[in-house]
Structure 1
Amino acid sequence: MTVIIDDTTAQNTPPTSGAEPEATASSVRETVRWAARNWGLVLSTAIFVLAVLWALLPGAFTSFDPIAVDNGRKLLPPSGEHWFGTDLLGRDMYARVVYGARASLLGASMAVAVAVIVGSVLGAVAGWFGGFVDTVVMRLIDVVLSVPGFLLAITIVVVYTAKVGQAGLIPAAIAVGLTSAATFARLIRSEVLTVRASNYVEAAITSGATTFTVLRRHVVPNSLAPTVSLIAVQLGIAIIWIASLSFLGLGAQPPNPEWGLLVSDGRQFIATRGWLTLYPALTIIAVVLATNNIARHLTTRSSR
């Protein structure tokens, strides 16, 4: 009896031994080319990720305690042991910059979250109901936008501090968020006006869904996409404003480190020991420029 072996499958199966390495190498080359073309975005992303890691895992980047006082190491210049030098109380400045990222980024993130929530509510209400409600909300937004945002944030914090008796990071973040909400409200309102006329919103209304349900499930979620790049821009602005409020004594309070507070602490020695203000200031500049560059790329990509 003759046994016939069908080797068609084996003949038609292409060899794959070298295909995967070639595909991997091609992917690596494309990634390298993309990184070379967009080196600014890569650098900005790396800086921002580093700042986030400082905020989340500061102990992984320094072994020094940012609060511990060491009278024997006062005002030491930058060295191999103390990369950013030491301050008036002998505390390692690099450790204080690293640990200060938590307060700065946390305050800025809280401010942006408040701005998005409040702005989304105001914009959704104005765009959905229209008429008198829209007029009142938009005039209120116009009044807020007519006042310099940072001046308004200072006013809110000062009033709060006068009543409570002590400033803090959370009140500063809320104040910055409230002053930034108007920008988000205008953007959300324009998106709601577009989404409101869509077929799926009309179908939801016809099916008997309540106004709150339609806004929560359909209108607001579909109106938030354009705010992604604005969130990145506002995050950079919030970092500057939080640092500025701390510099003025209206934000984070000592001994806890915060970038603006570190600049304030070192300003009396700026002529003789400039590292006390230089490194925290450069950190603020680098992170803000990184977030702005990321926001610019997000805006460019979304407009295509």
Structure 2
Amino acid sequence: MTGQPLPPPDAPVAGQGDAKDTSAGPATLRPARPRWRETLGLLARNPTAAFAGLVLLAIILMSLVDETLAAQGPNETSVEDRLQPPSWSHPFGTDDLGRDVLSRVILGAGVSLRVGFLAVGIALLIGTLIGLLAGYYGRWVDDVLMRIMDMFFAFPAVLLAIAILAVRGPGSGNTALAIGIVYIPIFARVTRASVLGVREEVYVRASRSVGASDLRILSRHVLPNAAPPIIVQTSISLAFAVLAEAALSFLGLGTQPPNPSWGRMLAEGRGFIQDAWWLAFFPGMAIFLTVLCFNLLGDGLRDVLDPRQRTLMAGGGR
């Protein structure tokens, strides 16, 4: 029996017609999303952290346009309207001088947040630099810098801030400086611990082998990879900075009258707590909500920036 000749190798197979071979051309790869966009996307999938971020964004925007939102100035008095309970004309009531409590809460947000962000900014800049140097160089540099940080840790945080204000005097600027100095050791320790886990990585050793400078290695390789714990600590420290500013203002060492501050408003409403509960309730709720949202956002950032949790969230896991 004579067999039929085999078709040439490049002949189309029967049944396929003129179908085109889609594997001939190069595969089109989707460009990778920027890391910050991926982080925001994962953070938005966490409803608690997303809600906390939106509330904080609203509070920050409110503090930026406080003079527009405030119904009246923070120091406009009206004797006939003193100690009025919450109503349509004064949603948060009035204080003992007839000043609108809602306007003072809105304007106090700018003062409290400004002090908090400035204090954390000071601590973040100085503490991160100290932690980078101590963690990267080690040896005597680490010993000297960390022993200095231990000296700061030996003092209770509030007492150290009060001592600094006793020397420099009360005021918003000095309050931010005092809180910032208190939080420098915290950022230094967090940064040092993160750098210790990064400095011996392959890409750091490779950069040393090709003669890259220490400044380039720290700025291009060590700090970006050690940043996640620092970012989480920043969010948590902002919550405690707002609390610390309120506590110092409550004691009369922070923001001075007639400037409104949430802590100062608590101190002013303390004497009327029986007859005018709203004087202390609304600024206290503002402090509570702000601190709670900073902590919830910090928890969300911790999950998103942790490599293991990030992989699970990116894959649809919880």
* Larger displacement relative to structure 2 (235-244 or 221-230): 221-230
1:133-148 mapped onto 2 (5 Å cutoff):
133-148=141-156
Q: CA deviation at 1:130?
A: 1.0
SS at 2:228's partner residue? coil
Q: How big is the shift at 1:209?
A: 3.8
Asked if the contact 2:152–2:185 (Cα under 8 Å) also holds between the matched residues in 1, the reply is: yes
Residue aligning to 1:81 = 89
CA drift at 1:60: 4.2
What is aligned with 1:50?
58
Aligned equivalent of 1:183: 186
Instruction: Give the structure-1-normalised TM-score.
Output: 0.81
1:74-121 per-residue CA deviation (whole Å, 9 max, x = no partner) reads 221111100111112211000000011001011101111111111111
Report if the CA contact (8 A) 2:49-2:299 is conserved.
Answer: no
Note if 1:94 corresponds to 2:102.
yes
Cα shift readout 1:128-154 (whole Å, capped 9, x = no counterpart): 221111112112222322332222111
Out of 192, 195, 220, the residue aligned to residue 195 of structure 2 is: 192
Structure 2, unpaired ranges of 5+: 1-40, 310-318
Q: Distance in 1 between matches of 2:224 and 2:257?
A: 40
**CA–CA separation in structure 2 for the residues paired with 1:48 and 1:289:** 10
Paired residue type of 1:51: I
Distance 1:222 1:300 in 2: 16
* Residue 184 (structure 1) shift: 1.2
Return the letter of the residue paired with 2:156: P
Q: Does 1:123 align with 2:131?
A: yes
Q: Distance in 1 between matches of 2:48 and 2:133?
A: 39
Q: Does 1:151 align with 2:154?
A: no
Answer whether contact 2:75 2:258 (CA < 8 A) is retained.
yes
Structure 1 residues 39 and 207: CA distance shift in structure 2, 3 A: closer
Write the distance in 1 (CA, Å) between the matches of 2:188 and 2:244. 20
Counterparts of 1:1-304 in structure 2, within 5 Å, are 39-161=47-169, 167-303=170-306, 304=309
The answer to whether the 8 Å contact 1:120/1:220 transfers is: no
How far apart are residue 251 of structure 1 and its match? Answer: 1.0
Tell me the distance in 2 between the aligned counterparts of 1:199 and 1:302. 21
Q: Is the Cα contact below 8 Å between 2:70 and 2:107 reproduced in 1?
A: no
C-alpha displacement at 1:39, in angstroms? 4.8
| Distance (whole Å) between structure 2 residues aligned to residue 211 and residue 70 of structure 1 | 63
Number of paired residues? 266
Equivalent residues of 2:46, 2:300 under 8 A apart: no
The residue that corresponds to 1:14 in the other structure is: none
Check the 8 A contact 1:235/1:291 in 2, yes or no: yes
1:38 Cα offset (Å): 5.3
Please report how far the alpha carbon of residue 213 of structure 1 lies from its aligned counterpart in structure 2 after TM superposition.
3.7
**1:230 Cα deviation after fit:** 1.2
Change (3 A) 1:256 1:140: same
2:165/2:175 contact within 8 Å kept: yes
Instruction: Classify 1:210/1:42 alpha carbon distance in 2 versus 1 (closer, same or farther; 3 Å).
Output: closer
What CA deviation, in whole Å up to 9, does each residue of 1:236-265 have, x standing for no partner?
000000111111111111111111111111
Identify, as 1 or 2, the structure richer in helix: 1
TM-aligned CA deviation for residue 122 of structure 1: 0.9
Equivalent residue of 1:226, what SS?
helix
The CA distance in 1 between the partners of 2:49 and 2:228, in whole Å, is: 21
Report the Cα distance in structure 2 between the residues aligned to 1:168 and 1:221, rounded to whole angstroms: 35
